[in-house]
Structure 1
Amino acid sequence: MKKITLLSVPLILISLGLAHKAYAATTQTYDSQGIVGFSTGSGVQPPVDPNTPDPTLPVDPQNPDGSKPTPGGDGPLTIDFASSFDFGTHDISNEDETYLAKAQKYFNSETLTPNYVQVTDRRGTFSGWALKVVETSQFTQVGTGPQKYKVLNGSAISLKNPVPASTNGASAPKAQEVLSLIPGVETQVALATSGEGAGTWVIRWGSQTSITKDGLTPDVTLFVPGTTPKDAAAYTTTLNWILSDLPTNTPT
């Protein structure tokens, strides 16, 4: 019995050694990819709040006569909206007068804001743009008036304290004051040089705090000379807003 026991011990030890044999760890890597592309944008961008110009939160501005504004452009570079200016009705005066415009109204809201113009650049080129305005003709009497003094000679619109605003992180365009528009002459309102003005931008005239308790804004005005004869009638003019991309210099 002792002989059998001695022979069996080495076999047990060998089996235990095989059970604890170590293996070297291995690591393998493999690369995959993610990809996304963008093209120039299109569609109509609705007007936004000029104080908080978030394109995802459109507003519904109202013209002075209670009508809806004309829809903005459809494309990668567009004028989305421009306020119409109502300077009110006043007694005929023989003195020089400066009249304030009414602030911008909205449907389904009592809120008033500064008047403004809105531009959207979805080209993705950061090549810049220029915004101009031209008064197509002098204030002219509407057809229902007495028509003795048809033109409001010497009257001039001014757009003061322009503020460019956007909720995106792009560089802002540069806005210019417009003092005494001359009928038929294009006047620059804002300029976005290369790298500026991408996304949706508003140029508003003045601030919310500048609106008077009567709902007027001192930053959009109409000057009328006292020497200009006037009928007891309404006079109107048209402002044409012009948006263009900046010319690209090409080698000859």
Structure 2
Amino acid sequence: MKKTFLLSVPLFLMILGATVQTDADTVAYQSDAKIGFTAGSGTTPPVDPNQPDPTDPVSPENPDGSKPAPGGNGTLTIDFASSFDFGTHSISHDDQTYLAKAQKYFQSNTVTPDYVQVTDLRGTAAGWTLKVIEESQFKEQSSGPNKYPELKGASISLKNPTPASDTNQNAPATQEVLNLLPNTETTVAHATSGQGAGTWVIRWGDQSSLQTQDGTTFTPNVTLFVPGSSPKDAAAYTTSLRWLLSDLPANK
């Protein structure tokens, strides 16, 4: 038994010595990895306002069947804004509120709420402000004699504004536009510092709020009020909306 005990001791020491030698051979060296980004650029195409994914663009159609003008090219852009079609109606002496038709798309039967789209690729999350101006009161487009060339007292309202994006960034604040006044800047959305980075849509309502009448789908949150006291020719009246996007001034 003593011989067995004495032979096991050197074996234990040899195993321990091998372990110590392996640890002593382990060394370390550190290297680095790096990536940088600059502000984005280019044109961001329109996206589905219900699923705003910039990698899956859509092709909106204007009410007259034409293609919308392309969006801006840069780091802070307006990509698209719906044109509003309030339909054709019988002349009435009563006050009337008309609904805008829903946004249509080329080669698709899908319709969505009307919307405006903004992209901020500056990489600073510095914030921005979106405004709209109705450039004039509704004017008659008839080439014949215009007895009532202006639709006096008519006003557009944009209700229930809803911001949406596929990013996890902080959303901009939105505000309703009630009775838009011609030649007056009116705020639609405002992103303070830390808000509004990436691509955002401001849609008026959501898909469940759309209304269908006689086969036509409307965005009930985009309306035109026309006083019954405003005289009208049997003609079309139009106006233009100008959308303004500006960055916030830097803090001094």
**Shift in Å, 1:176:** 0.3
Partner residue, 1:3: none
Structure 1's unaligned 5+ residue stretches are: 1-16
What is the correspondence of 1:52-67 to structure 2 with a 5 Å cutoff?
A: 52-67=51-66
Residue aligned with 2:208, SS: helix
**Paired AA for residue 69 in structure 1:** P
Runs of 4+ in 1 over 4 A off after TM superposition: 20-23
Quick one: which of 205, 224, 239 aligns to 2:241? 239
Number of corresponding residues: 234
What is the correspondence of 1:129-140 to structure 2 with a 5 Å cutoff?
A: 129-140=128-139
Partner residue, 2:6: none
CA contact (8 A) 1:172 1:192 kept: yes
Residue aligned with 1:213, SS: strand
Partner residue, 2:38: 39
Structure 1 Cα separation of the partners of residues 85 and 145 of structure 2: 21
CA contact (8 A) 1:145 1:232 kept: no
Residue aligned with 2:212, SS: coil
Partner residue, 1:96: 95
Instruction: Look at both structures and tell me which one has the larger radius of gyration over its CA atoms.
Output: 1
Structure 2 Cα separation of the partners of residues 188 and 222 of structure 1: 18
**Paired AA for residue 163 in structure 1:** T
What is the correspondence of 1:95-114 to structure 2 with a 5 Å cutoff?
A: 95-114=94-113
Residue aligned with 2:211, SS: coil
Structure 2 Cα separation of the partners of residues 141 and 28 of structure 1: 84
Structure 2 Cα separation of the partners of residues 52 and 145 of structure 1: 45
Residue aligned with 2:222, SS: strand
Counterpart check, 1:229 vs 2:228? no
Structure 2 Cα separation of the partners of residues 43 and 126 of structure 1: 18
Structure 2 Cα separation of the partners of residues 31 and 100 of structure 1: 65
Residue-by-residue CA offset, 1:95-136 (whole Å, 9 max, x unaligned): 100000000000000000000000000000111000000000
Partner residue, 1:167: 166
Higher mean C-alpha displacement, 119-128 vs 25-34: 25-34
Structure 1 Cα separation of the partners of residues 179 and 144 of structure 2: 26
TM-score (structure 1 length as normaliser): 0.90
CA contact (8 A) 1:145 1:234 kept: no
Residue aligned with 1:79, SS: strand
Higher mean C-alpha displacement, 26-35 vs 196-205: 26-35
Structure 2's unaligned 5+ residue stretches are: 1-10
TM-score (structure 2 length as normaliser): 0.90
**Shift in Å, 1:144:** 2.3
**Shift in Å, 1:249:** 2.5
Supply the RMSD in Å over aligned alpha carbons. 1.6
**Shift in Å, 1:145:** 4.4
Partner residue, 2:206: 207
**Paired AA for residue 142 in structure 1:** Q
Structure 2 Cα separation of the partners of residues 60 and 78 of structure 1: 18
CA contact (8 A) 2:46 2:59 kept: yes
State the identity as a percent: 65
Residue aligned with 1:209, SS: helix
Partner residue, 2:149: 150
Partner residue, 1:179: 178
Residue-by-residue CA offset, 1:175-221 (whole Å, 9 max, x unaligned): 10000000000000000000000000000001111111230121000
CA contact (8 A) 1:146 1:233 kept: no
**Paired AA for residue 222 in structure 1:** L
**Shift in Å, 1:232:** 0.2
